[in-house]
Structure 1
Amino acid sequence: MTQRGWLLFLGMGVIWGVPYAMIRIAVDDFDPVFVAFGRTFIGALVLVPIAMYTKALAPVFRRWRPLLLYTVVEIVGPWLFIGFAETTLNSSTVGLLIAAVPLIAVVIVTKLGQDKFDQRRVIGLLIGFAGVVTLVGLDIDLTNPAAIGAIALTTIGYAVGPIIINRSLADLPPLGVVTASLLIAAVVYAPFAALRRPTSFPADATLSVVGLALICTAAAFLMFFALISEVGPARATVITYINPAVAIVLGVAALGEPLTAGMAIGFPLVILGSILGTARSRDASEDALVASPAAPEAVTECCEHQLSVAKDDVGAVRSHSGGADERT
């Protein structure tokens, strides 16, 4: 990887680990739906001129049905659910729970027939989910099932979103998809945000919303597109494994959140499980490449597609949402 690639990679790992702390600060004073609206509205204002200049918007809106579905599962639902969950859960805990998204995604793409389970992948899934169970069991008050349910829905949405992209929107400009999604989400949030608008705007909460919009959404997506161009989509998505570490450090250092036994045990298990569970496996398409030297270009194209689709679906989890946040 080039020096520019490393800088973009490290920058994205930090930027998409920050939203959890910012959301935690914002929801102390603002309603979660107002936070989500502010982030999408300001982010859209920044990206719309760029998308229009590059003519990336028009083709996206022509495919409005999958775009709308993607926006609901990747932005509208998750960004509201995360804000709601962080009214009661620590930001570092939420960040670590969302790190399980690749595990959910690999189960989904396997069930869809786009990949298959092997021994390594099964072990990875078991390890990763054991980490989640450890975190939930040791750190989270189980008398508040709504917050846990909100994060569960978020992880499912973040896992499904990239699959919709790959199946229905992959040939469209990424910048256009993101910008259009932010516009749609802002419109959906707007009436609810108006009903729950704050009576005052404390500096910390206001700056957190602005930071979420400008840094963790607009700037983050532009950097992520540059990173994909520099190192490719598969390597770019490895930032998924860095984000929760940043979330934990910020939660403990900046917000005074405790470093708990659940985090100490659950974090390495979730990350190890995600790496093992989402690593590419040797499948039939690879065997076909070895067994059929004839028509190498066609076989190679098929092989590359089959090998990349699950990794792209799983790893691109926050690539269009900002849970790096995409992830937040």
Structure 2
Amino acid sequence: MGGPSVSTRGWLLYGAMAVLWGIPYLFIKEAVDSFSPAAIVAGRTLLGAAILLPLALHRGALRPALRVWPWVLAFGAIEMAGPFLLLGHAEQTLPSGLTGLLVATVPLFAALISLLRGDRGVLSPARTVGLGMGFAGVAVIVLGPGLAVADADAALLAVGQVLLVALLYAIAPFLIATKLRDVPSLGTITLSLLFIGLAYLPFGLLTQHEVPTVRSTVALVALGILCTAVAFLGFFALIREVGPVRAPLFTYVNPVVAVLLGVIVLGEALSPGLLVGFPLVILGCWLAATGGRLRRRPAPATDLPIA
């Protein structure tokens, strides 16, 4: 990775984050079995907010966030409200592993956004190759043989929804870097979760038409506690341990975790297209994000690939 060596605590935090943000797709797939997508968003965000709120109050992180609440709300809409709902809808059709892999295209969209913003560094040969390779991998996965879904049209719509999630995840850090730079991350995240949870609660109640199963309920609780509240606390600890530049490197492992869990736990098929496209997407994302260097360029500490 370059720079100072990573401590044992740092490696443990890397491993924890690779799992905590690699397993949401499995839990979402289980939750949508008997929860509506809106109910999942409401439950997950309110649970996360309930856990983080006492800590945010203790650290005095909420008051700075409340001063710029319109921008915090905009961040929550881009990073949580839209993506969480879209993922719930998409996983009613797509395998969880494929969903996790498609979300991993965030660095590709981030590189495109940087290019549109005038960052000429994105035009380096390695980054250009990475962009092409990453999107080619997506095309192979989606259009290649063996995509195990019953309705091809619904699958393409779901793929589009997940790629839109990746685009939104790529946009959010730019909002943080320009409008919320001086606001504590914990305050921004907690207030966003609370806003989004309260906004989705009535829609969740209105769209929930069946009694949730125990399995779906456990998955939803795990999403709120492990993949939201605990994951953010772990990410903040990782930033303190290794710095904001190296902290997001675990995101290259998340799709591996998502695909393996989908295969092992849910029995999802490894299609030929997925086997070919998987390494293309991961390598393309790495090249697009790093330019082929082992040490990444400085990036906002709030580069949060939430799932």
Name the counterpart of 1:18: 23
Measure how far apart 1:115 and its partner are.
4.8
Q: 1:159 to 1:28 in 2, by over 3 A?
A: same
Does residue 100 of structure 1 match 2:140? no
Name the counterpart of 1:136: 142
**TM-superposition CA deviations, 1:140-179 (whole Å, max 9, x none):** 6541243122112211110101110111112111111110
In structure 1, distance between residues paired with 2:98 and 2:292: 31
Measure how far apart 1:253 and its partner are.
0.1
| CA RMSD of superposed structures (Å) | 1.8
Aligned length: 294
Does residue 163 of structure 1 match 2:168? no
In structure 2, distance between residues paired with 1:156 and 1:77: 11
Q: 1:281 to 1:143 in 2, by over 3 A?
A: closer
**TM-superposition CA deviations, 1:76-120 (whole Å, max 9, x none):** 000000000000110001001111111001110121124521111
Where does 1:1-328 land on structure 2 (aligned, <5 Å)? 1-116=6-121, 117-138=123-144, 139=147, 142-144=152-154, 145-279=156-290, 307-308=297-298, 311-312=299-300, 316-318=303-305, 326=306, 328=307
In structure 1, distance between residues paired with 2:247 and 2:297: 16
In structure 2, distance between residues paired with 1:266 and 1:194: 39
Q: Is the 8 A contact 1:25 1:204 kept in 2?
A: yes
**TM-superposition CA deviations, 1:273-325 (whole Å, max 9, x none):** 1111111589xxxxxxxxxxxxxxxxxxxxxxx952xx448x9241xxxxxxx
Name the counterpart of 2:3: none
In structure 2, distance between residues paired with 1:14 and 1:213: 15
The code of the aligned residue for 1:132 comes to: V
Unaligned runs of 5+ in 1: 283-305, 319-325
SS, match of residue 49 in structure 2? helix
SS, match of residue 33 in structure 1? helix
In structure 2, distance between residues paired with 1:187 and 1:273: 38
Unaligned runs of 5+ in 2: 1-5
Measure how far apart 1:233 and its partner are.
1.3
Identity %: 43
The code of the aligned residue for 2:81 comes to: V
In structure 2, distance between residues paired with 1:265 and 1:316: 28
Measure how far apart 1:62 and its partner are.
0.8
The code of the aligned residue for 1:157 comes to: L
Q: Is the 8 A contact 2:290 2:297 kept in 1?
A: no
SS, match of residue 303 in structure 2? helix
In structure 1, distance between residues paired with 2:304 and 2:107: 7
Q: 1:281 to 1:115 in 2, by over 3 A?
A: farther
In structure 2, distance between residues paired with 1:264 and 1:317: 27
Q: 1:21 to 1:258 in 2, by over 3 A?
A: same
SS, match of residue 13 in structure 1? helix
Moved more, 83-92 or 113-122: 113-122
Q: Is the 8 A contact 2:245 2:297 kept in 1?
A: no
The TM-score, its normalising length taken from structure 1, stands at: 0.86
Moved more, 137-146 or 160-169: 137-146
Q: 1:114 to 1:61 in 2, by over 3 A?
A: farther
Measure how far apart 1:194 and its partner are.
1.4
In structure 1, distance between residues paired with 2:304 and 2:186: 16
Q: Is the 8 A contact 1:95 1:247 kept in 2?
A: yes
Q: Is the 8 A contact 1:118 1:281 kept in 2?
A: no
Q: Which is greater in Rg?
A: 1
In structure 2, distance between residues paired with 1:11 and 1:316: 17
In structure 2, distance between residues paired with 1:51 and 1:168: 20
Measure how far apart 1:198 and its partner are.
4.5
Measure how far apart 1:239 and its partner are.
1.3
